[in-house]
Structure 1
Amino acid sequence: MPVPSSPGSAGPTPEVELRRVRVNGIDLDVATAGRGPAVLLVHGFPHTWRLWTRVMGDLAERHRVIAPDLRGLGASSRAADGYDGETVAQDLLALLDALGETSADVIAIDLGTPPAFLMAMRSPARVRRLVLMESLLGTLPGAGEFLAGGPPWWFGLHSVPGLAEAVLPGNEAAYIDWFLDAGTLGRGVGAGERDAFVSAYNGSEALRCAFEYYRAMPETAGQIQRAVESARLRVPTLTVGAHPVGRALEQQLRPHADDLTGHVIEDCGHIIPLHRPEALLGLVRPFLA
């Protein structure tokens, strides 16, 4: 099926195939496009695979693009558990296996960053190059400036079991719109993308699954700490920051990475692939090449 075009698209609209793929006892909804070496795109909150619609066309000219909805999110199975970084990393590795890919370039943002990092740490032969954006990696040192005023307010709300999914139903659109507007410095996203995101997080069960990622953050942080204590990040890695994370992720990774390049995109909100797709592709194209 063709992906609807979006205002500000950075490349041609690709032909996208949507499929259900069984991995680790759950079904992932997966969009694929193009041919060539695989590139795996890993979204965060409050996104689905449609986060990548403005960059998929360009990437699909040279790659087989694989963009899943993560466990519990979008049209993927509403799993009861398994929202820690290592379990989600295993989901993604099993997805590559199911699609016949022995390795992939991996591009991740927000909540997708810890699983992508753990993929590269635990199975470095499976990850050719790694692009990580706008996230922190557990409690690794280096994010002090970003966290000087405390973590973002929603981390606390989302972390309390049962609370946010009890009070938000009926107001999902307003809640998601806040993140989409803040994440693009007030510009907002295309109507098609916005409607897809709002629909994906509608209802208490959809919200619960999203917030389970935040509730699993202490477990994921422990997994990240153990990973850097036992190995170095050997995969060539690019960090891309914007507002508000900036260089915090790069600073966290610098002591642990053998081959790290860091960039910050100025005048860009947190949702980089939708706010500044051309700027992102300008960094990603040469890095993957």
Structure 2
Amino acid sequence: MKYTNEALIKSLPNFANNYAEVNGTKLHYVEGGKGEPLILIPGYPETWWAYHKVMPILAEKYFVIVVEMRGMGSSDKPAEGYEKKNMAKDIFELVKQLGYEKVHIGGHDIGAHVAFSFAANFPQSTSKLIMLDTPHPDAGMYQLPMLPMLGATYLYPWWLAFNQVKELPEQLLEGRMNMVIEWLFKNLLVDQNSLSDFDKEVYEFAYNSKDAIRSSNAWYQAFPQDIEDSKTYKKLDMPVLGIGGSGYGMLEMSLSNATTDLQLKKVEDCGHFILAEKPNETAKCIIDFLG
């Protein structure tokens, strides 16, 4: 099967698949390179494959570890534990199991939520934090409109509400997640050619089952608790980099209030999926930041 980890890894020489039991669940991760450890976490509706364009570039300078968080891809899909604070504990236990005291950590989309929570809850283990196009959930999410605004250019994020519903999405979408994935990429990419049909098929393969839909929706269903947890976090004092395409404004607004040492980089002519659309620019921003 060409969409399995074993098949995909063949296109990335010097990278390997691994698994670890942490915090009561099993995580899949892909690692390779040399240098200081750099943990990277993907988001919805993707898998570790989201980073495949930047992994070889970053691996020339860092030991890259791309982690599929609980509920994603080949990692376990337990019934609970999807609060980002707990998912950060998954990553923390992985870091300790790998023998690291401190790591650089970054994430995109839901992965950025987990990366931020890692830095907030385990600052002693965080060298530098990289946020890709998405801030951590905060109370501002409660102000998102229930209806698309007449004449607005703002993309109505209906899936944030749809994914809150329990049981119905997996009944409707089992075996049909290609429709959601196709819609999201069509509407959240500027350059439609930056993501191949094969890439989409990789993600469809990963998200088509009832368990995959249930567990990925659980990331969204934990937002109210994530928002409450965020109210307890102190300002981050490690260096933080926000790299934004269409999400640049949200990153700027959120991170400016949550950090003391912030750099922001805007990726021009780019949508939400900056790793697919602008991999070279994104990798350069990361390398320049990490040094």
So what's the TM-score if we normalise by structure 2?
A: 0.89
* Cα 1:37–1:145 shift into 2, 3 Å: same
Secondary structure in 2 matching 1:22: strand
Asked if 2 retains the 8 angstrom alpha-carbon contact of 1:24 and 1:91, the reply is: yes
- 2:236 pairs with one of 233, 237, 240: 233
Tell me the CA shift for residue 256 of structure 1.
2.6
Deviation sequence 1:137-172 (CA, Å, 0-9, x none):
222569989999596111110001112111112321
* Cα 1:54–1:222 shift into 2, 3 Å: same
Asked if 1 retains the 8 angstrom alpha-carbon contact of 2:133 and 2:243, the reply is: yes
Tell me the CA shift for residue 62 of structure 1.
1.1
Asked if 2 retains the 8 angstrom alpha-carbon contact of 1:29 and 1:76, the reply is: yes
Task: Quote the sequence identity (%).
Answer: 27
Asked if 2 retains the 8 angstrom alpha-carbon contact of 1:39 and 1:66, the reply is: yes
Mean Cα deviation higher: 91-100 or 185-194 = 185-194
2:287 paired with 1:281: no
Asked if 2 retains the 8 angstrom alpha-carbon contact of 1:84 and 1:220, the reply is: yes
Aligned residue-pair number = 278
2:199 paired with 1:193: yes
Matches within 5 A, 1:79-158: 79-139=78-138, 152-158=157-163
Q: Which runs of 5+ in 2 are unaligned?
A: 1-5
Deviation sequence 1:17-63 (CA, Å, 0-9, x none):
10111101111111001121000001110011111000000111111
How far apart, CA to CA, are the structure 2 residues paired with 1:53 and 1:29? 15
* Cα 1:142–1:82 shift into 2, 3 Å: closer
Asked if 2 retains the 8 angstrom alpha-carbon contact of 1:140 and 1:252, the reply is: no
Tell me the CA shift for residue 184 of structure 1.
2.3
Query: Match of 1:211?
Result: 217
Tell me the CA shift for residue 208 of structure 1.
0.4
Asked if 2 retains the 8 angstrom alpha-carbon contact of 1:239 and 1:249, the reply is: yes
How far apart, CA to CA, are the structure 2 residues paired with 1:221 and 1:235? 21
* Cα 1:242–1:249 shift into 2, 3 Å: same
Deviation sequence 1:158-203 (CA, Å, 0-9, x none):
0011121111123211221222333322335134422221110011
Matches within 5 A, 1:152-171: 152-171=157-176
* Alignment-mate amino acid for residue 268 of structure 2: E
Query: Match of 2:32?
Result: 33
Asked if 1 retains the 8 angstrom alpha-carbon contact of 2:43 and 2:111, the reply is: yes
* Cα 1:167–1:3 shift into 2, 3 Å: same
How far apart, CA to CA, are the structure 2 residues paired with 1:191 and 1:55? 19
Asked if 1 retains the 8 angstrom alpha-carbon contact of 2:123 and 2:238, the reply is: yes
Tell me the CA shift for residue 136 of structure 1.
3.2
Asked if 1 retains the 8 angstrom alpha-carbon contact of 2:34 and 2:62, the reply is: yes
Asked if 2 retains the 8 angstrom alpha-carbon contact of 1:146 and 1:248, the reply is: no
Asked if 2 retains the 8 angstrom alpha-carbon contact of 1:136 and 1:143, the reply is: no
Tell me the CA shift for residue 104 of structure 1.
1.0
Q: What root-mean-square deviation, in Å, do the aligned CA atoms of Structure 1 and Structure 2 show?
A: 2.3
* Alignment-mate amino acid for residue 241 of structure 1: G
Mean Cα deviation higher: 276-285 or 130-139 = 130-139
* Cα 1:287–1:146 shift into 2, 3 Å: farther
Tell me the CA shift for residue 268 of structure 1.
0.7
Q: Which runs of 5+ in 1 are unaligned?
A: 6-12
* Cα 1:172–1:189 shift into 2, 3 Å: same
So what's the TM-score if we normalise by structure 1?
A: 0.89
